[in-house]
Amino acid sequence: MRSGRPACKVRFFRIIRRTFPFPYEVVRWQEKNLENRQTISRKDTKEPIGKKPVVGGSTMPLVNETFIKKIHHLPKKVVLVVSGGGSGALAALLEVPGASHTLLEGVVPYSEEAMVQFLGGRPDQFCSASTSRAAAMVAFRRGLRYEPTPEHIAGVAATASLVSDRPKHGPHRAHVAIQTLSTTISYSVELQKGARSRSEEEHVVSCMVLNAVAEGAGVEERIPVPLLPEETIQSTRAEAPSSWQDVLLGRRPALMVGQTPKAPTASLRGIFSGAFNPRHRGHDRMVEVAQQVYGLHVEYEISLENVDKPPLDYYELARRLEQFGPEEPVWVTRAATFLEKAELFPAATFLVGADTLRRIADPKYYSTQAGAQDAWQRIVAQGCRFLVFGRDLGKGFIRLGDLELPESLRAICREVPPEQFREDISSTALRRSGQWETSSGRGTLPPVE
């Protein structure tokens, strides 16, 4: 078996080299020495690995072997995800013996379709701090499959938009994120356009990624990132209380944030599940109608997992929660589907838009048609109901009567007529217009205890 391993490695590094424009000769060095079956001692050379020219004509090593060894010698395990840039960091980690002590998995979801599949939903932008944080959260959760101790896992992710073979209208930038059990961290930089080659920009991002891996692993040392004088790295950080960590790990099914509501009659309990990204007047009007017209006592629910959407990291969860006052009850859960929500909140009435109800009824969200029917029946068995609000989905106003629903599901639905509610506003439109930043105080986290 061992005699075939070098050839496999050679093929791996050739594929990597053809796919990514490495700024140094790590891969070629690996190929040459694997093909010749030579054993080279690093003690015989003073040259650092990954050496390359950078802006200004000077030379700077991507990393030295001592730095990588410090990462490999610690017990933290890392799932590393890179998209658009930073692939050199993965190669550098693999170059130094002992990579298996650090890397649980390396993932390169380079195409849009691959990133959507990796995240579990389509992000607003494929290169952004929020997308990197979401990818780091997915990476952390993938690590839980391989490492039984959550405290020993770090998810590290990078998204970048660098020099390409076609002109780019937007800025050249990179976003690197770290997700551990207790913390979400992100680093972002906008690179001066036209000041570097692709390989030089890749070198910058790879340095950022290696520093993130070191931070996630618990190494205090950092390697220098070759930035120009006008470039700065911006960072965000969110620390999670132990109760959030318990929800993330599934040790706790739900967490109440804010004022604990008075226990209403089960039939009068309303649950408003949503992303609230951001919360807007349409949400507030739905609650107002549910309370004043239908007599429901409404509680909010935000899930760390959502169907067709990337998962929430701690920073994003804190941003969503800060939109609610201390008197407003908000549940934090991991209930991605309404079947899971019905099991958490039996006999409750869920406030939903017509678009959400259409997804609940769509068999594609279930493994089989029989699975869909079973889920609907189980929701009915929990005694839950739906209060349905019309929505303008861009092709006209859609209400309950316009939807094709199974009779078992339609029987537990009640429509709010448009004369009682119609708000043609969406969170997606607000985010695209930039109003999320101004309306929610983006960048300012509430105190986390």
At residue 25, the pLDDT reads 37
Fold of 45-239: Maf protein (3.90.950)
Q: Give the angle 150-153-156 at the CA atoms, nearest 5°.
A: 140
pLDDT at 445 over 80: no
Q: In 162-287, where do the E strands start and end? A: 172-179, 183-191, 234-239, 254-257, 269-273
pLDDT at 302 over 80: yes
Domain boundaries, the chain: 45-239, 249-440
Q: Which residue has the higher pLDDT, 393 or 50?
A: 393
Instruction: Choose the weakest-confidence range: 10-14, 254-258, 324-328.
Output: 10-14
User: What is the percentage of the chain residues whose pLDDT exceeds 90?
Assistant: 72
Domain 249-440, CATH:
3.40.50.620
Please state, in angstroms and rounded to a whole number, the distance separating the CA atoms of residues 189 and 230: 11
Please state, in angstroms and rounded to a whole number, the distance separating the CA atoms of residues 24 and 17: 11
Containing 388, the helix (H) or strand (E) segment is strand 385-389
At residue 266, the pLDDT reads 62
* 110-165 pLDDT tens trace: 999 999 999 999 999 999 999 999 999 999 999 999 999 999 999 999 999 999 98
At residue 23, the pLDDT reads 41
Contacts of 289 (CB under 8 A, 6+ apart): 389, 416, 420, 421
* 193-216 pLDDT tens trace: 999 999 999 999 999 999 999 999
pLDDT at 329 over 90: yes
Query: Cα–Cα distances in Å, from 206 out to 93, 143, 157?
Result: 11, 21, 11
At residue 435, the pLDDT reads 66
User: What is the percentage of the chain residues whose pLDDT exceeds 70?
Assistant: 82
* DSSP SS3 for 223: coil
pLDDT at 52 over 70: no
Please state, in angstroms and rounded to a whole number, the distance separating the CA atoms of residues 160 and 102: 23
Kind of pairing, strands 254-257 and 77-83?
Answer: unpaired
Tokens 């802006």 sit on residue: 55
At residue 169, the pLDDT reads 82
For the chain, the first-to-last Cα distance in angstroms comes to 53
pTM of the model: 0.83
